[in-house]
Amino acid sequence: MPEAPDLEVIKEFLAPRIVGCTVTAAVERKPLVLRNMTGEPFEADLPGRKITSVERRSKLLLIGLGRGRLLIISPMLTGGLRHCQPSTRMDASTCLAFDLSDGCQLRYFDQKRMGQVYLLPPGRSDEIVRLEHQGPDVLSEPLGLDEFTAALKPFRGEIKGILTRGVLVSGIGNAYADEVLFHARLFPFKKRTALSADDVRRLHEAVYSVPAEAVKTLRERMGADIHRKVRGFLKVHGKGGGPCPVCSSKITAITANQRLTNYCRQCQPGSLFRR
């Protein structure tokens, strides 16, 4: 799943390349992904509209189009974007393709069609729940420790679930939650009510430092290949069975709440039986 760091770098790559271009053709190749809320046929409505902006909000990419149209891309688990020449081989997972006036093409692909792409007329963005019901962005100005502590206090659940819900801060998904909690030396399934003041202090630091550092790394490693998932530099997520980079213990990989969690039992002590 592209999370805030991934989408921030994708936005930085796309904005100077596609803003100002006009959509000359649009094709829907796979059903179930596009939610067209304009009442107009997609392939007839998009051509002739200029791309006016590319923005990110949490784990969503927003592309502004001429005459008030807004394209909101929620990649979810398997979606992504590719900016390429039209001659580049079209993957079978490509769902939408946009021909641009500079001769390039923007594609949205999704292997399992789990993501959503919304095409909206003016004034309807408040209907997109993932857009409106979000906490402060994790890559924006950090909350102070006192403010962060107060915002955390109403929650009662496990700390990983709190991070990925997007209400405390937005933009953190499954992968970066694992990384944040490893950096903070916190057991992923520890309840918020069991956190000490020092736990909260370490969590506050990690919530902002880990995604910010990831953006720097992704800028270097992703380049023009915005369709690639760059995760090899992560310390624990996706490294189950490998050595912990701090203590060399084996990294644990478990599936809980329908998602993979990776952590180090030595650096992040805790028990699943006392949750």
59 is catalytic: yes
Q: Position of tokens 């990983």? A: 160
3 is catalytic: yes
Dmax (CA) for the chain in angstroms is 59
Q: How many CB atoms lie within 10 A of CB 198?
A: 9
d(CA 143, CA 154): 16
Selected catalytic residue, list 11, 49, 57, 59: 59
Selected catalytic residue, list 29, 219, 250, 259: 259
Ranges assigned E (strand) in 34-187? 34-36, 51-57, 60-65, 70-74, 79-84, 94-100, 105-110, 116-120
Selected catalytic residue, list 3, 8, 158, 179: 3
231 is catalytic: no
Distances (CA, A) of 246 to 251, 256, 268: 11, 24, 11
Residues taking part in catalysis: 2-3, 59, 259
